[in-house]
Chains A and B, each alone.
Chain A
Amino acid sequence: MKDLARLALDTALSRGADYADVRLVRYRSQNIGTEDRRVSSLSDTEDVGIGVRAIANGAWGFSGTCDLSPEGVQACAADAVAIARASAIVGQKPVSLVPEPPATRAFRTPYQIDPFAVPIEEKVGLLLEINERLLANRAVRKAHGFMTLRKADRMFLSSEGSDLESEVVTTNATYSATAVGDGDARSRSYEPPPLTMGYENIDREDLLANTERVAEEAVEHLRAPECEPCVTDLVLDPVHLSLTIHESVGHATELDRALGMEESLAGRSFAVPSLLRNLKYGSDLVTFRADNTLEHGLATHGFDDEGVAGQAWNIVEDGLFVGYGTSREVAGEIGLERSTGSCRADHWGSIPIVRIPNLSLMPGKVPCSPDEIIADTKRGIYIEGRGSFSIDQMRCNFQFGGDAFWEIRDGKRVRMLKNVTYQSMTTDFWNSIDAIADERFWHMGGVLNCGKGDPMQISQMTHGAATVRVRNVQVGAAAGVMRKSS
């Protein structure tokens, strides 16, 4: 296979590319779904191909093919260079890459159990047993279970001399219970973190141990009163925060987006380069750290799809906006001498683009537990898990829901609520954080299916956090509309 990759590289250079890189990637995935007592889906996918990126006449070209014959690979590489020359017809300034020292190395996700060596019977059996336990609560009318298992074996060569290999394994299992009654249906989910880890991440005992609670809370959710619109304090758990961080910090600090390069689909960012070190993104308690070396992080692949080694750096430090995720092409626009290594493609047939790194809210520095935060809150709402999410194309106005909600009164969780959404503006929200639990309560959540790019690409990244309190947030405007109308 390396010979084919070298053939592609040599072909691109012989056709006049000033720079070229090649990714040859083999993917394997299994996805299993269960609904009540049946297996609703079970698929096993294999896919292999090669993608060639080239710079010629100062512009990018990219071509990917599944034809791994020497002729197919050569045609693909030649196509990449031809596309680059065509791109140059519509160019304002030549592509320029910041340096990356060429390297030869291999990276492998540290794992103990190959998820593809585990019998299907065991995986299916676990999901069905979970559903059976959820359905043991007679008020639960629907149970769903999901398992996602992925492996990517990647080879990367560049015309600068990099020769890199990686094997990345990702695993995840989640489930939900839905209670139905009185013309309504409400759910509760259990979402252990997806991680780059072997099947040991599918913790059977932990998954089964939470079924009774999840079923009970689905029923309680169904019977809960509606949330009334108000301005109140929110206490947010780490699983919930993974999505808030993703949407309002992660995407906002992708440098290509801030430079206008993602406008045709997902938009731009309010966090433009002139605001670096000039914008109070959050309160003094708030530090967001990007870390593509984080053990078992979803974006921890050893090196990105430009061959840049995984690194760690701050995006927001003690509330100040200080950094971006970059590629080699855009890093120089803000004076960086090296890319932060956040350029990834979801497939051999996709061109690498800037993606959110593993991005986490650092834990509080003062000893503080989630229970203590709640005990310190006179009135508010505690939110666990993920639900509705929506944000504008500049990453300013957002609205989030959650998976479960409890009213806080005089320092205690007094009852569940339903239909809680909150709406805020990004920097208003993060500047209203006045408490963060400490590192004992820091938890890695993540996103397995982040969409960006045109054509669309799907990527994965980890978001760690500990429970926070946010003051004075507008809650309930969404459901309030429906109650006024009906």
Chain B
Amino acid sequence: MNEERARALTEKALSFASADHTEVSVGAGVQTAARFANNSIIQHVRNRDQGLGVTAAFGQRVGGASTNDLSDEGIRACVGRAEAAARSSEPNTEYLPPPGPQDYMSIDAWDDDVVELPHDTRATAISEALAPVEAAGLRAAGSYTTHASQRAIANSSGVFGYNRSTHACYVQTVLTENSSGWAESVGSALDQLDVPAASRVALQKAEAAKDPTEVKPGAYTVVFEPAAVAGLTSIVGWTMDAKTADEGRSCWTGLEGAQVGVPALTMRSVPAHPILPSSPWGEQGIAASDTIWIEDGVLRNLIYSRFWAQEKGREATGRPANLVIDGSDATTEDLIAQVDYGLLVTRFWYIRFVDPMKLLITGMTRDGLFLIEGGRVTRGVRNMRFNDSPLSVIKKIRAMGQARPTTLHGLQVVPPMLVDEFHFTSGTSF
């Protein structure tokens, strides 16, 4: 769906509209994924879809509808359903009319190589990645996924925006009889992917974690790899809503402007990030911009919707489309060398809220948990359950390393972190 077609479709939808305000979004995408397990491709899929969404408002009575039938009849019906829903509904007292024309940043995140990747090229890349695993007598699982999408927005106030993007992701888990190791490689362009490197890392971790022993639950000094950090920082990004905080229903209540983390911590969103870019627009088509959430450890901004920003005399921020934390030039090994006794965590699994008022969360380690002794990784240990709070973690960061991209928990570019007193409360059998 090129820009010309996208514009024609949005104009068509707006021409059918009779509401006070109408917003239209349109898009098309292709996702291809080859999934493997036990050293074989078990699923290999391609999905092509398109869609058009309409939000119609009569005063503050708002209704939405969507369809993937982009014929004139389909678009007219979709507009009709949105308007009928709006007319039949009661007011959304927080609805604001859509903005006027915006100046969108140019985000170039398109790679033809991602779009045109042949099926057998993908399969061959997997085959080559599996070769060292099979040579070691081990088995692997993972996936090689690519996604290309084009999208546009328009509204009855004169907005039009068009953007296209590609994304590629390779993940691999290697399994021994009693351990596993995981790695990923991600980017918006194919040349940002390093499939062989991800395979090597996963294999090395699985072998290093073999014959794991048990360690007792308790508070540990921990080195978190970037994928593990992302599990914790995603919780920060999801929850820091200003309205919820102002209503007293959140751990963030009263914290704006306060020192919430170590001075070395700055967390921001960068829509035009060169590896993991996000959309040039946010809520209702407002132009996205770089946003600083935490600066030098101080909480500068919570998430302000347009409505809540208006209520509070603030700028609307939109939701964080990606999260970027700059680290340092230190490697993960440099962080490990600073730990006398602690743990190295590859990633987390099944993170869930326990008490949102304290941002207490729980989850499991996965695919590579290691004991650190005297500044070196000495052995693999059995996976453990943690219960702790990211609000507590960011106050106890001792050091950070080189930031790396990860999409395990949304679009993030985050560094490995050395954190003191992280709480593990139970273990498991593997």
Q: Find out whether the CB atom of B43 lies under 8 angstroms from the CB atom of A353.
A: yes
Q: Find out whether the CB atom of B66 lies under 8 angstroms from the CB atom of A45.
A: yes
- Measured between C-beta atoms, what is the minimum distance from B197 to chain A in Å? 18
Docked CA distance A401–B92 (Å): 33
- Measured between C-beta atoms, what is the minimum distance from A425 to chain B in Å? 7
Q: Find out whether the CB atom of A44 lies under 8 angstroms from the CB atom of B119.
A: no
The answer to whether the Cβ of B4 comes within 8 Å of any Cβ in the partner chain is: no
- Taking a contact as CB atoms closer than 8 A, the residue among B40, B46, B50, B429 that contacts A64 in the complex is B46
Binding site for B on A (CB under 8 A): 37-49, 51, 59-67, 76, 79, 82-87, 89-93, 119-121, 124-125, 128, 141-142, 178, 180-181, 183-185, 259-265, 267, 270, 349-351, 353, 388-394, 396-397, 399, 401, 419, 421, 423, 425, 454-455, 474, 477-479, 481-482, 485
Count, chain B residues at interface, CB 8 A: 96
- Please, which residue of chain A has its CB at the minimum distance from the CB of B60? A38
Stretch at the interface among B276-284, B324-332, B350-358, B373-381: B350-358
Specify which chain B residues have a CB less than 8 angstroms from the CB of A419 in the assembled complex.
354-355
Specify which chain A residues have a CB less than 8 angstroms from the CB of B34 in the assembled complex.
86-87, 90
Q: Find out whether the CB atom of B48 lies under 8 angstroms from the CB atom of A67.
A: yes
Q: Find out whether the CB atom of B49 lies under 8 angstroms from the CB atom of A49.
A: yes
B82-110 contact mask (Cβ, 8 Å, vs A): 1 or 0: 10111011111110000000000000000
Known: A44-B81, A66-B68. Contact between A61 and B44, CB under 8 A? Answer: yes
Q: Find out whether the CB atom of B64 lies under 8 angstroms from the CB atom of A43.
A: yes
Specify which chain A residues have a CB less than 8 angstroms from the CB of B51 in the assembled complex.
47
Chain A interface, >50% SS class: mixed
- Measured between C-beta atoms, what is the minimum distance from A305 to chain B in Å? 13
Q: Find out whether the CB atom of B68 lies under 8 angstroms from the CB atom of A478.
A: no
Docked CA distance A125–B180 (Å): 53
Q: Find out whether the CB atom of A397 lies under 8 angstroms from the CB atom of B46.
A: no
| Interface-central residue, A184, A270, A423, A454, by most chain B CB under 10 Å | A454
Q: Find out whether the CB atom of B247 lies under 8 angstroms from the CB atom of A141.
A: yes
**Extra contacts besides A86-B120, A261-B42, A482-B389 (8): CB < 8 Å:** A62-B44, A86-B44, A86-B123, A263-B173, A264-B142, A264-B173, A390-B362, A478-B425
Known: A67-B48, A86-B119. Contact between A425 and B171, CB under 8 A? Answer: no
Q: Find out whether the CB atom of B40 lies under 8 angstroms from the CB atom of A482.
A: no
- Please, which residue of chain A has its CB at the minimum distance from the CB of B427? A397
The answer to whether the Cβ of B193 comes within 8 Å of any Cβ in the partner chain is: no
Q: Find out whether the CB atom of A178 lies under 8 angstroms from the CB atom of B249.
A: yes
- Taking a contact as CB atoms closer than 8 A, the residue among A46, A260, A392, A425 that contacts B38 in the complex is A260
- Taking a contact as CB atoms closer than 8 A, the residue among A45, A85, A92, A263 that contacts B40 in the complex is A92
- Measured between C-beta atoms, what is the minimum distance from B26 to chain A in Å? 13
- Taking a contact as CB atoms closer than 8 A, the residue among B48, B62, B78 that contacts A39 in the complex is B62
Q: Find out whether the CB atom of B43 lies under 8 angstroms from the CB atom of A60.
A: yes
Known: A37-B93, A44-B82, A180-B248. Contact between A87 and B44, CB under 8 A? Answer: yes
- Please, which residue of chain B has its CB at the minimum distance from the CB of A270? B429
Known: A264-B35, A390-B350, A390-B385. Contact between A396 and B429, CB under 8 A? Answer: yes
Docked CA distance A421–B353 (Å): 11
Known: A44-B81, A350-B47. Contact between A260 and B37, CB under 8 A? Answer: yes
Docked CA distance A378–B122 (Å): 61
